[in-house]
Amino acid sequence: MDAQLQAGQPVNKAPVALTLKDLRACWRAWMMYNLSSMSFERLESFGFCLGMMPALKKLYPGKAERTEAMKRHASFYNTEPQLGAIINGLAVGLEEKRANGERIDGETINTLKVGLMGPIAGIGDSMIPGMLVPILLSIGMALAAGGSVLGPLFYIISFNAIVITGSYMLFMKGYRMGTGSVEALVSSESVKLREALSLLGIFVMGGVAASYVNLSTGLDFVTSDGVNIQLQAMLDGIFPKLMPLLVVLGTWYLMARRNVSPVKAMLGLLVVAFVGVAVGLF
């Protein structure tokens, strides 16, 4: 197949055009199954390949050509799935051009994928788990504070509405515009964008921690003059919410610096809470 491209011969005699139905099938397969087959060796590669299959079946009716394309899209791949849909759209568009005889080889398509997955992941991780999820969770937690079911419903509906709509639009934009669609995301301006989104996410997480992480101590002591001093009141006068801050920073340190898993971190907090209540610290 590559020999045909190098010789300037079209791979297919009749042009093959993907329909809107084909594109939606590709996007839906990626959106639903991008993390369904994870391994340290390949991560999202099989999810990406599955997302390409509706297009590959139509573009490459021959078994050999389709097998080659499947191997190309089953190589190592990992990015943020929602924003990463723009790379899927780009890959589908390039495969369509390649199948119709344009001088685009498989290595070029794979190189673009690998080159884009890192910058897109950086922006996506800042926007989705770093900013969008904390904001929606803080609103949902406020709605659910009184036991209302509106809290979880708000989060589930709003999150899915945003990521599904955004993912679809990015996929279609990647397909229509090709490499130009991601130029703004991988340019020098993307560094400033990631820093701004990360900073916003930190502010949001700080607000959530201060509002919903509650911890106080019941310790008090009596001075030589007979004055009863409550430690928590003294801490609140010096540094309000100091103990919740220490819990958040301590948990972050264990998970980020010591590679403690979230489950072990939660179990550790449970043990500390149990012991602290038993000895009268909390």
Assigned domain for 47 exists: yes
Looking at the structure, tell me whether residues 52 and 172 fall in a common domain.
Answer: yes
Of 190, 211, 232, which residue constitutes the final position of a domain?
211
Same-domain status, 64 and 129:
yes
If asked whether residues 183 and 232 sit together in one domain, one would say no
Give the span between the Cα atoms of 102 and 269, in whole angstroms. Answer: 59
3-state secondary structure of 84: coil
**Which of 193, 211, 229 is where one domain is finished?**
211
User: Residue 14 gets which letter from DSSP?
Assistant: S
My answer on whether 125 and 184 are in the same domain is yes
Q: Does any domain span residue 7?
A: no
pLDDT of residue 41: 76
Range of the domain at 121: 20-211
User: Does residue 248 lie within any of the structural domains?
Assistant: yes
Domain boundary among 178, 211, 244: 211
Beta bridge mates, 77: 43
Q: Are residues 109 and 228 in the same domain?
A: no
| pTM attached to this predicted model | 0.67
Task: Encode pLDDT of 175-231 as tens digits.
Answer: 987 655 455 555 555 566 566 666 666 776 777 677 777 888 877 777 777 667 777
Same domain, 178 and 40: yes
222 shares a domain with 109: no
The H-or-E segment that residue 229 falls in is strand 228-230
In a domain, 241, yes or no: yes
Do 185 and 236 share a domain, yes or no? no
User: 177 and 236 in one domain?
Assistant: no
Number of compact structural domains in the chain:
2
**Do 175 and 231 share a domain, yes or no?**
no
- Judgement on whether residues 166 and 203 belong to the same structural domain of the protein: yes
Chain centroid to Cα 53, Å, comes to 23
160 part of a folded domain: yes
Tokens of 88: 């899927």
Q: Are the beta carbons of 85 and 167 closer than 8 angstroms?
A: yes
Q: Give the residue ranges of DSSP H helices in 37-179.
A: 45-59, 63-72, 85-99, 106-127, 133-144, 150-177
Do residues 164 and 258 both lie within one domain? Answer: no
pLDDT at 6: 46
Least reliable range by pLDDT among 6-15, 47-56, 97-106, 112-121: 6-15
pLDDT of 40 > 80? The answer is no
C-beta separation of 46 from 104 below 8 A: no
- CA distance linking residue 92 with residue 25, whole number of Å: 11
**Element of type H or E holding 221:** strand 220-222
